[in-house]
Amino acid sequence: MKSVLLIGLGVFGSQVAEELNKLGHEIMGVDIEEKKVNDALPIVTDAQIGDSTSVAFLKELDVPSYDVCIVAIGNNFQSSLETACNLKDLGAKLVVARADREVQAKFLLRNGADRVVNPEKQVAKWTAVRFTSDHILDYFQLDDDHAIYEVDIPSDWIGKTVGGIDIRRKYGINIIAVRQNGKLLFAVTPDTRLDSGNSMLVFGESHDLKKCFKIQ
């Protein structure tokens, strides 16, 4: 369990709070709008109404005591930038900030943020890949060069074993799990059989994955 200072309780921030709550973390939620704070009360451990661009207000929160500070302000980049800078100046261990554009990410990283997330860009990539390929069930880009895909078993692989298709030698791709009857099985061996109706999680370099599974 970690302690998280979550600043910004709009659509994105409240969804982050929900996920943190499910994971059992302690959450201090902060927003300048009273309604957003009240709406978040059922899913946060504690909450404060306040202006995160105010150093005096942030000092009251004891910023260094949190494991992670997340700046989820979505409609005022100036406030996000000032907040990230103030948090780092006050001794925050880890500052994660939301950015909507690449230029915003650059400014945030230069002024207090340790990590930046761009939810719109990430979801846009996922949507483009997921819904333009019938056989791609899920997708996660790990970095610029590597990704994990969940794919249907290609028709010419059905009935064969993982060792039989030899995907690692041919494409440099690893099968990390097979989904059978809705459950992921991670104990994949060369003898694991690929049956009709199953899917699999595959990991590798993005260009190898696209070539192997004919992803545009």
- The domain ranges of the chain are 3-117, 122-212
pLDDT of residue 170: 87
Q: Residue 203: is it exposed, middle or buried by C-beta count within 10 angstroms (0-12/13-18/19+)? A: middle
Q: Are 30 and 47 in contact (CB under 8 A)?
A: yes
Q: Same topology for domains 3-117 and 122-212, yes or no?
A: no
Alpha-helical regions (H) of 90-147: 102-110, 119-130
What is the reported pLDDT for 48? 96
Helix, strand or coil, per DSSP, at residue 204: strand
Count of positions (residues) in the chain? 216
pTM beyond cutoff 0.85: no
What is the three-class DSSP state of 199?
strand
Torsion of CA 11, 14, 18, 23, to 10 degrees: 120
Order the strands of the 46-49 sheet from edge to edge. 46-49, 26-31, 3-7, 68-71, 95-98, 115-117
Q: Which residues contact 169 (CB under 8 A, 6 or more apart)?
A: none
Mean pLDDT of residues grouped by 10 in the chain (216 residues)? 95 94 95 96 96 96 97 92 96 95 92 90 77 81 86 91 90 92 90 91 90 80
Neighbour tally for 171: CB within 10 Å: 18
Q: So what's the pLDDT on residue 216? A: 65
Tell me, what amino acid is at 153?
I
CATH architecture designation of domain 122-212: 2-Layer Sandwich (3.30)
Q: What is the pLDDT of residue 181?
A: 87
Burial class (CB in 10 A: 0-12, 13-18, 19+), 121: middle
Distance CA 128, CA 216 (A): 10
The one-letter code for the residue type at 68 is V
Topology annotation, domain 3-117: Rossmann fold (3.40.50)
